Amino acid sequence: MFDLQKVLRDNIKNLEPYSSARDEFQGEASVFLDANENPFNNTLNRYPDPLQHELKLKIGKQKNIHPENIFLGNGSDEPIDLSIRAFCEPGHDNIISIKPTYGMYKVSADINGVKFNEVLLSDDFNVNADAVLEKIDSNTKLIFLCSPNNPTGNSLNRADISKIISEFDGIVILDEAYIDFSNQIGFLQELENCPNLIILQTFSKAWSMAGIRLGMAFASKEIIAVFNRIKYPYNVNILTQRAALKELENSQETIEKVKIILAERSNLINELNSISIIKKVFPSDANFLLVKVNDARQIYNYLLTKGIIVRDRSKVALCLGCLRITIGTPQENKILIKALQEYK
């Protein structure tokens, strides 16, 4: 049985959190002399809302999630790091994840001095729930999963994800950064039944706002309250909050852009498959393709000479000989295909 108090670190359980001026007073007033701000209005002279109420309300409406179940941070990297700091005792606890996957889970674990154990995916990039569950010991606090996964592009098998969530007494963090490019439904609607689940999403991909650094975590209100106690007081700045609110007004535009990216993904798969140096294009539920080529390093360098940058993943487990290619605009994708066709 999952018990949040059991997985929390003692120092976090006993923490007296910082209380900012904006935390202490909420309500209507016209003269703010409580936060040592500069009083002269230039639209940025006040501290931002520390809990981003307006933004959470809008995101909640769109995703059908209560604002109390939402945490917003400086990219997804913030809730990744906060999760490790809240639940893992350095030098004692451990984390399990899959291999290959997004690199920041391990980097964050390493920075925090927390052991990181990896379970290799199958040859078709799927996770075997039993293999993950077997690795759990009494010090395992977190399991990181990523679906659709980076760099492989596929969605993990839903039944395996569900099994891991339901059989693990610690916390499962499911990174759904690429979910808007998948035709599978994610786990947001399962949150109510899964008190040990944290879902990560981001404004950096489908929402085309990587520059504002805004990541979302969805979880029980008890887990969100833990994040709120340990985050930097004003972790999401005013410019980011404003830009995200504006983007949310244009959600139809976002849907249209995603449709174009999905159509381009299909075109690119067809085009790549007709080029002889391409050995395999792996199926993708994301906005990138993992592509096996004849000589990854040489082709990577050749593309560089054409001004085209892709990601060389050829040294990553299960991705030997592979490049990871982001779906660009129709024009960018044409330039890529032409360059690959001309490669000798």
Residues forming contacts to ligand PMP in the complex (CB under 6 A) are: 75-77, 102, 146, 150, 175, 177, 202, 204, 210, 215
Query: Rounded distance, CA 139 to CA 219, Å?
Result: 22
- Cis upstream peptide for 151 (omega within 30°): yes
The CA–CA distances, whole Å, from 210 to 115, 194, 202, 243, 302 equal: 29, 29, 8, 11, 27
> CB of 210: closest distance to ligand PMP in angstroms?
6
Query: Rounded distance, CA 197 to CA 212, Å?
Result: 26
Angle between helices 251-273 and 330-342 (to 10 degrees): 10
146/224 with CB nearer ligand PMP: 146
Query: Rounded distance, CA 343 to CA 243, Å?
Result: 41
99/279 with CB nearer ligand PMP: 99
> CB of 24: closest distance to ligand PMP in angstroms?
30
DSSP letters for 273-322: HTSTTEEEE---SSSEEEEEES-HHHHHHHHHHTT---EE-TTSTT-TTE
8/179 with CB nearer ligand PMP: 179
Q: How many residues can be counted in the chain?
A: 344
> CB of 200: closest distance to ligand PMP in angstroms?
6
102/116 with CB nearer ligand PMP: 102
CA quadruple 8, 12, 16, 21: dihedral positive or negative? negative
147/196 with CB nearer ligand PMP: 147
> CB of 213: closest distance to ligand PMP in angstroms?
7
9/215 with CB nearer ligand PMP: 215
> CB of 197: closest distance to ligand PMP in angstroms?
16
**In the bound complex, which residue of the shown chain has the CB atom lying closest to ligand PMP?**
75
